[in-house]
Chains A and B, each alone.
Chain A
Amino acid sequence: MAEHHSVSDSKHKASAVNIGASLSGNGRSSPAGTVGSSPTGALSTGIAQPAGWQSLLSFTILFLAWLAGFSARLFAVIRFESIIHEFDPWFNYRSTHHLTINGFYDFLNWFDDRAWYPLGRIVGGTVYPGLMVTAGLIHYVLNLLHITVHIRDVCVFLAPVFSGLTSISTFLLTRELWNQGAGLLAACFIAIVPGYISRSVAGSFDNEGIAIFALQFTYYLWVKSVKTGSVFWAIGCCLSYFYMVSAWGGYVFIINLIPLHVFVLLLMQRYSRRVYIAYSTFYIVGLVLSMQIPFVGFQPIRTSEHMAAAGVFALLQAYAFLQYLKDRLTRQEFQTLFFLGVSLAAGAVFLTVIYLTYTGRSTLYAKIHIPIIASVSEHQPTTWVSFFFDLHILVCTFPAGLWFCIKNINDERVFVALYAISAVYFAGVMVRLMLTLTPVVCMLSAIAFSSVFEHYLGDDMKRESPPIEDSSDEDDKRNSGNLYDKAGKVRKHVSEQEKTEEGLGPNIKSIVTMLMLMLLMMFAVHCTWVTSNAYSSPSVVLASYNNDGSRNILDDFREAYYWLRQNTEEQARVMSWWDYGYQIAGMANRTTLVDNNTWNNSHIALVGKAMSSNESAAYEIMRSLDVDYVLIIFGGVIGYSGDDINKFLWMVRIAEGEHPKEIRESDYFTPQGEFRVDKAGSPILLNCLMYKMSYYRFGEMQLDFRTPPGFDRTRNTEIGNKDIKLKHLEEAFTSEHWLVRIYKVKKEENRDPLVHSPRSSSSRQKYTSKKVQDPPRFSNGEL
């Protein structure tokens, strides 16, 4: 809260000249702001009071935005309970727990021997520790104040609390870009927009929850430092960047976007001392700080993702040097030097590009070529529907905001334009990057809405503003120092439209305003609806609704994990597909072979191979990996579509990638190229381990009288292999709705009876045949 005060205070001090303009803009956009109607000329008398009102208003709106954002994220806690959601958060929770119990240094050096058996995982060196440290710190401070909170609750509520901080930093950033009114709108948007809520509901204890705050705050400080050219703000930006690096791998977005901004500014001839100071400071200090995170290590000076930043840094130095030389040298000398320098630079760039092309491997490359990355649903391209679903009306209005920004361009609006364009591109490539698009969409939409409201909510201000704006317009081009907060674009806009606007009657104004308010209302309704229905499921607990609206809780996952925790040896090793690794480790506290940190493709492929081989081949693999239990998810009884059979083709593909001789994807399809689990399915599929474990004894089960026994509700077919016998595995546990099935891997048989050998059949035959006095036993040529 102190932050709000100081920030808004400083803003007023810094831009006293602008107060009239921004104040009036703000006044128009909010019903309570009627005080703003005093003419600019009379500011001297009324300034103290409106400024007070304005701070109070801003403070209240931000506080309410925080509150609304926090409350909207609590659906899951109210409907279910205070529980960690999904998959990755379980790991984050487990490591936070480790951190709070064993302290920071132990966490930093934590070698987790219960994950990735038998490889183990260096947790301290392979996580972004920001999230855990943040939660651990909050927990520590609360306990210091004798507020005894369990670390789980801190983790559950961390993301909703941080969403409030995100609102505030979005407000600050938008205010720097446009004006305070737009800032407040943006803060409200980001507080409830589904695209951000999807990653920050209570219980979703994930990196993104705090990283979006860090992202916005870093951008705010960057814009601030570009505007002021002060080392102080640049250092602040570095610290915020450091927090971002410690929190999320998405920091790469920052370290590319900021250099891009600088580069475009150079191209636009907008180079200035301010940019030079801001970027030089940011790059050097940011680089050193980011290398302090063990997981990042030397990547910033090695990998291709970070090269753009280094290149722009060099370019900026060269440019500054040339500027310096220009002042000192004659034209002729300068030209020679310039020519020489350019050709050298061109050669260097050319070589670098070639080098990077050969060594660089981005996620985009991986996405296409490595099945394990392609298999993650978050890495799929975004559909149009999900743009609308996650952003609703904002996706339609943000191009308008972008247009306003580009029309009234200055240094920091270049930044937001680049931010918008690159974020749109990345969001189109991968669903999960929708998250980076969301804040900029909120900001630009807020600008669009704010401009429209400024137009249609006020009446007498417009005629008076042009003179002020004209004087600042030229400044804006040459020296965009002080006057940023002015609604600069509005001015132009206004002056152009002035003639036509004369004709706008109060009716049109009110209709447009009503329409806009309707849109905003629908947006709020949509956000709540989406949050409640789509993004508030813990996915650890499932809910189903009966016809009368009553709710059934399917708690199979936890049932099974607690079974594991209670009924298996402490050191038991559980094999499952990697999706469930974190949950098994977190909830069942058992050793897992693979988990959601998919760093070792070949180990995952080995598990995939075991799942897709026949039982005896799988047994060999499981024995070599010391597997004690196998856990699978089976949705055929309740019609849960995210089960292992539906994921099975990915296991086959991943296994095929590493073991192309033994596993071939085509073997699992029918000759017509279909993936079927019924009688027409391929025999290899019908006898592979995953199929057998999923459908073991399922053929005996009749779900209702309309369907035959062994009817799979997920795939709506009667299964093809109902008589499944397991030789090396035995069923250990099946949860209430058959969602989780656990099998125990038997020890090697004590004896090898003849049944195993090829002659076994003949020996059995012999016993029966002996009675008939017909010895066919010699016929097999066993010798």
Chain B
Amino acid sequence: LECTMDAFLCLTSAYFPKWRRGHQTYKRTLVLLDNLNIRDTHSIFFRSLADRGFDLSFKTADDPSLSLIKYGQFLYDHLIIFSPSVEDFGGNINVETITSFIDGGGNVLVAAGSDIGDPLRELGSECGIEFDEEKTAVIDHHHYDVSDPGEHTLIVADPENLLKAPTIVGNPSDKPILFKGVGMVADPDNPLVLDILTGSSTSYSYFPDRPISQYPHAVGKNTLLIAGLQARNNARVVFSGSLYFFSDAFFNSAVQKATPGSQRYAQTGNMELAEALSQWVFKEAGVLRVGAVTHHPVGESTPPAAYTITDLVEYSVVIEKLSKGSWVPFDGKDIQLEFVRIDPFVRTYLKKNGDKYSVQFKLPDVYGVFQFKVDYNRLGYTHLYSSTQVSVRPLQHTQYDRFIPSAFPYYASVFSMMGGLFVFSIVFLHMKEKEKSD
């Protein structure tokens, strides 16, 4: 019995039909704002989204008509929350609906600030990210911008501190990033959270207007300025501690560290980073999927009911990547196939072969229920997982070698015995007659 179980593909089944319906539908985006002014102060960012085909609906966060889900269907595919100070969402949106939106495959971009309200902190903790308290800010006395009024909260983040993942943060550039807002921390053991942008080693998070009486919530590189989450269903969430980060002002301002002798840049790196982040979080970049999986013994074209041990098997899988709205074959050098029965018995690289990745290998000399597993988990890409269960049976009674050399003595003994008995019978009968005649 062979069965294919794509237990959890890159796309959940609920989400899958939407991809087919065309671009318009899967780019429906709800934007929640503190006030509608933000639409103008962050117009560059929104325009770039609109230019890329996103269908943006702007609402204030406390709009009583807000709704994400209707009749069990999501009304939007993406959610942008640019309303740091919201204390209660309007309509039927609350933290719970947002988390179920994420669990249903929706993507969320959250920008906070020092005036962060409870709902966003709660949303963060649901995603494994802990925001610092309201009124705190990330402070860095060594890396602040020259235009900082004196609290040292307008931070110039070094692009060195960006996550080394081009699909998420775009191509490397040396332009510093301007940041002003609240800090975050994440549990380093949490495998889903990505530290997209961290503070420098001299940064910390505290109330800028109070003397430090307690150990700060976040210190040094642990301070997260921008964090991301790719959930197990591949829904993506990005938290930025700073709403200003996305503002036109920050996009266009010049930046220079206050330390003497530092270089002045005419423009911040915010725009490029924001664009790359939005591409990643709204699944324009780094999206993979598994297509057809085929496996069969070499020389045949269909899989048998059960493989036999030490069969030579060919396995192939189609892996595609979303590029500008269409699926194209993915080009990866490090995709591995495992043949697993609790532990992997075979682990081998898949080689690109036309549109497919395939490999031929010999099944182990062990019977049982195995799985062909492709588990491709790379930073910035969707978690690609495909498992196909097959049975590997021992030899049938007709499949054993019949004429092995070590059996020849036995064959010889059998035939010599038969011959001997025959001769003996003749002799015996003959003798008897003789005796009688005597």
Residues of chain B whose beta carbon lies under 8 Å from any beta carbon of chain A: 1, 3, 5, 8, 99, 102-103, 118, 121-122, 125-130, 133-134, 185, 187, 189-193, 214-219, 222, 229, 231-233, 235, 306, 341-342, 367-370, 389, 391-394, 396-397
The residue on B at minimum CB distance from A766 is B133
CB-CB under 8 A from A124, the residues of chain B are: 397
Supposing A111-B367, A759-B187, A767-B118 touch, asked if A753 and B394 sit within 8 A by C-beta, the answer is no
CB–CB A767/B397 < 8 A: no
CB-CB under 8 A from A122, the residues of chain B are: 367, 393-394
Measured between alpha carbons, how far is A546 from B190 in the docked complex, in Å?
57
CB–CB A759/B130 < 8 A: yes
CB–CB B393/A751 < 8 A: no
CB–CB A751/B391 < 8 A: no
Interface centre among B191, B369, B396, B397 (most CB of A within 10 A): B369
CB-CB under 8 A from B222, the residues of chain A are: 783
CB-CB under 8 A from B128, the residues of chain A are: 751-754, 757
Q: How far is the CB of A112 from chain B (nearest CB, A)?
A: 9
Which residue of B3, B103, B394 is within 8 Å of A751 (Cβ)? B103
CB–CB B118/A751 < 8 A: no
CB–CB A763/B130 < 8 A: yes
CB–CB A571/B397 < 8 A: no
The residue on A at minimum CB distance from B306 is A111
Measured between alpha carbons, how far is A474 from B111 in the docked complex, in Å?
113
CB-CB under 8 A from B389, the residues of chain A are: 571
CB-CB under 8 A from A571, the residues of chain B are: 3, 5, 389
CB-CB under 8 A from A109, the residues of chain B are: 393, 396-397
A-B contact list, 17 entries, CB within 8 Å: A109-B393, A111-B367, A113-B306, A120-B391, A120-B392, A294-B397, A747-B232, A749-B232, A751-B127, A752-B128, A752-B187, A754-B128, A758-B187, A763-B125, A763-B130, A767-B121, A779-B214
CB–CB A778/B214 < 8 A: yes
CB-CB under 8 A from A625, the residues of chain B are: 342
A781 at the interface (CB under 8 A from B): yes
- Which A residues from 99 to 115 make CB contacts under 8 A with B? 105, 108-109, 111, 113-114
- Which A residues from 408 to 436 make CB contacts under 8 A with B? none
CB-CB under 8 A from B391, the residues of chain A are: 111, 113, 120
The residue on A at minimum CB distance from B4 is A571
The residue on B at minimum CB distance from A106 is B396
CB-CB under 8 A from A782, the residues of chain B are: 185
CB-CB under 8 A from B216, the residues of chain A are: 778
CB-CB under 8 A from B370, the residues of chain A are: 118
CB-CB under 8 A from A752, the residues of chain B are: 128, 187, 190-193
A119 at the interface (CB under 8 A from B): yes
CB-CB under 8 A from A770, the residues of chain B are: 133-134
Give a binary string over A763-779; 1 marks a CB under 8 Å from any B CB, 0 the rest. 10011001000010111
Supposing A751-B126, A751-B127, A763-B130 touch, asked if A775 and B214 sit within 8 A by C-beta, the answer is yes
CB–CB B215/A778 < 8 A: yes
Supposing A119-B341, A750-B235 touch, asked if A783 and B103 sit within 8 A by C-beta, the answer is no
CB-CB under 8 A from A704, the residues of chain B are: none
Interface centre among B217, B235, B306 (most CB of A within 10 A): B217
CB–CB A118/B232 < 8 A: no
Residues of chain A whose beta carbon lies under 8 Å from any beta carbon of chain B: 105, 108-109, 111, 113-114, 117-120, 122, 124-125, 294, 570-571, 624-625, 747-755, 757-760, 763, 766-767, 770, 775, 777-779, 781-783
The residue on A at minimum CB distance from B121 is A767
CB-CB under 8 A from A760, the residues of chain B are: 125
Measured between alpha carbons, how far is A763 from B217 in the docked complex, in Å?
11
A-B pairs, top 4 by smallest CB distance, nearest first, are A111-B393, A778-B214, A113-B391, A757-B187
CB–CB B369/A753 < 8 A: no
Q: How far is the CB of A338 from chain B (nearest CB, A)?
A: 30
CB-CB under 8 A from B229, the residues of chain A are: 751
Q: How far is the CB of A428 from chain B (nearest CB, A)?
A: 40
Supposing A118-B342, A783-B218 touch, asked if A751 and B231 sit within 8 A by C-beta, the answer is yes
CB-CB under 8 A from B235, the residues of chain A are: 750
CB-CB under 8 A from B341, the residues of chain A are: 118-119
Measured between alpha carbons, how far is A751 from B230 in the docked complex, in Å?
8
Interface centre among A748, A749, A751, A757 (most CB of B within 10 A): A751
CB–CB B125/A750 < 8 A: no
CB-CB under 8 A from A120, the residues of chain B are: 367-369, 391-393
Which residue of A113, A118, A753, A781 is within 8 Å of B126 (Cβ)? A753
CB–CB B133/A775 < 8 A: yes
Measured between alpha carbons, how far is A111 from B187 in the docked complex, in Å?
47
Q: How far is the CB of B294 from chain A (nearest CB, A)?
A: 19
Q: How far is the CB of A28 from chain B (nearest CB, A)?
A: 50
The residue on B at minimum CB distance from A110 is B393
Given contacts A294-B397, A570-B3, A759-B185, 7 further A-B contacts (CB under 8 A): A113-B1, A118-B369, A119-B368, A753-B126, A757-B128, A767-B121, A778-B216
CB–CB A750/B102 < 8 A: yes
Q: How far is the CB of A198 from chain B (nearest CB, A)?
A: 36
The residue on B at minimum CB distance from A591 is B369
Supposing A624-B342, A778-B215 touch, asked if A753 and B368 sit within 8 A by C-beta, the answer is no
Measured between alpha carbons, how far is A775 from B212 in the docked complex, in Å?
12
CB-CB under 8 A from B130, the residues of chain A are: 754, 759, 763
CB–CB A113/B190 < 8 A: no
Measured between alpha carbons, how far is A48 from B367 in the docked complex, in Å?
67
CB–CB A750/B103 < 8 A: yes
CB–CB B219/A757 < 8 A: no
CB-CB under 8 A from A749, the residues of chain B are: 232
CB–CB A753/B125 < 8 A: yes
Measured between alpha carbons, how far is A117 from B370 in the docked complex, in Å?
10
Measured between alpha carbons, how far is A759 from B187 in the docked complex, in Å?
8
Q: How far is the CB of A465 from chain B (nearest CB, A)?
A: 44
Measured between alpha carbons, how far is A294 from B394 in the docked complex, in Å?
13
CB-CB under 8 A from B125, the residues of chain A are: 753-755, 760, 763
Q: How far is the CB of A121 from chain B (nearest CB, A)?
A: 9
The residue on A at minimum CB distance from B390 is A113
CB-CB under 8 A from A777, the residues of chain B are: 133, 217
Q: How far is the CB of A569 from chain B (nearest CB, A)?
A: 9
Supposing A122-B367, A750-B235 touch, asked if A111 and B394 sit within 8 A by C-beta, the answer is yes
The residue on A at minimum CB distance from B125 is A754
